[in-house]
Amino acid sequence: MNIGSIPQCDLLDTVRNEGIVFRIADFTIKLQSPFPEVAINIQKLYTDYPVVGPDSFVDFHMKVISPKGLRRWYHPQVEFYFDGFRPFKPLPQKQAYAMFEWSLNWCIANHMHSYFIVHAAVVEKDGKCIILPAPPGSGKSTLCASLVMSGWRLLSDELALIDSNAENVFPVPRPINLKNASIDIIRDRFPDSIFGPVIKDTAKGTVSHLKPPANSVRLASKPSRPVWIVFPEYQVGSDVVLMKKSKAQTFMGVAKNAFNYTVLRREGFNTLVRLIDSCDCYDFRYSKIDEALETFQLLLESK
């Protein structure tokens, strides 16, 4: 049974009370929240994800709930709890759904150290995947969404999970987090795209989440071979530029964007060396979506 097959009234009741247990790739999530917008948007954006039994092993016990005390009545807020622990300060209640998405990123990045984890989008076509490491504001998510909506498979918008031999990237296909002008860019370019709520005045500006294609979710247990590492940069008015990047510069760039490079220590170093050795590495600058899509198609055909 998938989340989308549950009647909305039943899903609201389940999330509010005992919590819904569902799988995202190799992870099992249990989510509880009294906020209807959380359950409604889980159903809208996680339609194709499988629900599992309440007795299943759970990797992440998550609660998105109201703080206690009188403050909840005159200044509504939302808190995130992970296994009874509150890692973040409260946010305004209108950010409840976004808090779930951001908190799940935190759960994976801080606890799944069997993988080498890089802050990167990952897309695949014809069995070859591109890792796109980049800091916020680089245009990474806009480029990722454009590729995915044009037929590339989504492995992740935020987290590249790489095995210790650097032979596989493991998928975590989830809604793509878009910000500010990127929301309208993707919505206008791909009118059939499905978005969650547009949430304003967050620490990241205005945000919304794009539903991943059903096929990417269906292939969530299938890893992919890394072939390219490409550092994207959106620059207004720029011509499209794809330029070779040295292995040394790529090593430093990926290490800078890795979540657990220092945690894994020697293993992390060795994994990164293997990854760099096995991939072609580039810097990529763009301003127009169509030119970016054409460039990546040519890159794909070059192998």
Domains, the chain, in order of start with CATH, read: 3-111 (no CATH), 116-301 (3.40.50)
pLDDT tens sequence across 177-203: 999 999 999 999 999 999 999 999 999
pLDDT above 70 coverage of the chain, percent: 98
Is it the case that residue 249 has pLDDT exceeding 90? yes
Q: 275: closest CA among 166, 139, 184?
A: 166
pLDDT digits (tens, 9 = 90+) for 214-230: 999 999 999 999 999 99
- Residue 72 clears pLDDT 70, i.e. is over it: no
For the entire predicted model, the pTM comes to: 0.94
Write out the H or E segment, with its range, that includes residue 64: strand 60-65
| Mean pLDDT, residues 106-132 | 96
- Please, which pLDDT band fits residue 139 given cuts at 50, 70 and 90? confident
The mean pLDDT of 24-49, rounded to a whole number, is 96
Q: Across all residues in the chain, what is the average pLDDT?
A: 94
Paired residues of 137 in beta bridges: none
Given a cut of 90, whether residue 133 has pLDDT beyond it is: yes
With beta carbons less than 8 A apart as the criterion, state whether 78 and 91 touch.
yes
Q: How many CA atoms lie within 13 A of 71 on its CB side?
A: 11
Quote the pLDDT of residue 74.
63
**Given this model, what pLDDT does residue 110 score?**
94
Cα maximum dimension of the chain: 62
> What pLDDT, on a 0 to 100 scale, did the predictor assign at position 73?
62
Confidence of residue 54 (pLDDT cuts 50, 70, 90): confident
pLDDT of res. 71: 61
- The predicted-structure confidence for 252-296, as pLDDT tens digits, reads as follows 999 999 999 999 999 999 999 999 999 999 999 999 999 999 999
| Contact between residue 287 and residue 235 where contact means Cβ atoms under 8 Å apart | yes
User: Once rounded to an integer, what is the mean pLDDT over residues 105-110?
Assistant: 96
Could you give the CA distance from residue 107 to residue 174 in angstroms, rounded to a whole number?
14
pLDDT at 303: 75
Q: Please name which of 186, 244, 239, 174 lies closest in space to residue 211, comparing C-alpha atoms.
A: 174
Mean pLDDT of 149-153: 97
Q: Looking at the predicted structure, is the pLDDT value of residue 241 above 80?
A: yes
What integer pLDDT is reported at residue 11 of this predicted model? 96
At 245, is the pLDDT very low, low, confident or very high (cuts 50, 70, 90)? very high
Q: How far apart are CA 26 and CA 53, in angstroms?
A: 15
Centre a 10 Å sphere on the Cβ of residue 302 and count the other Cβ atoms it contains: 8
Structure tokens belonging to residue 265: 């220590």
Residue type, 111: H
CB atoms within 10 A of CB 93: 17
pLDDT at residue 137, as a whole number? 80
The reported pLDDT for the residue numbered 138 is 86
Give the residue-averaged pLDDT of 75-94: 91
Q: What is the pLDDT of residue 68?
A: 78
